[in-house]
Amino acid sequence: MRRIEPEVLWKMIRLGWAVGANLREADLLRADLTRADLRGANLRGANLRGAYLEGANLHGADLRWANLRGADLRGANLRGADLKGADLRGADLEGADLREADLARAKNNSNTQWPEGFDLTRTDADIPF
């Protein structure tokens, strides 16, 4: 896993270079990515545990097998994002746009906060007992 320094990441975001960026397996533990534009970014296998992604634009992003445990994704745009196998345990997704997102085998638990009216049973996500 490669660590990306926060100032480098923010420079990429400010300059618009994070759109479609290859951040595969990046270590973004507790990174503040509030309102970041990460459309189409490759975040496959990235460590986003405890990251702040409130209002972030992750439309079409590849988040397969990403660790989003305890992440703040309130109001994030995850439309069309690939979240196959992602760890969403304890993540806050209230107000997030999950239309057309692929949640196959995504892990979640009773602490995962879903958008109001979201029906987990209509996805292929792992349903905790």
User: pLDDT tens digits for 68-121?
Assistant: 999 999 999 999 999 999 999 999 999 999 999 999 999 999 999 999 999 988
Per-residue confidence band for 40, with pLDDT thresholds at 50, 70 and 90? very high
Lowest mean pLDDT among 42-46, 102-106, 124-128: 124-128
Residue at 32 is within a domain: yes
In a domain, 125, yes or no: no
Q: How many domains are there within the chain?
A: 1
pTM above 0.85, yes or no: yes
CATH number of the CATH domain containing 51: 2.160.20.80
What are the distances in angstroms from CA 51 to CA 4, 27, 100, 120, 122? 13, 10, 23, 23, 27
Within a domain: 120: no
**pLDDT of 35 higher than 80:** yes
- Please check the confidence at residue 9 and state whether its pLDDT lies above 90: no
Range of the domain at 58: 1-109
The DSSP H or E segment spanning 14 is helix 6-14
Give the pLDDT score at 112: 97
Per-residue pLDDT, 18? 81
Q: Is residue 129 part of a domain?
A: no
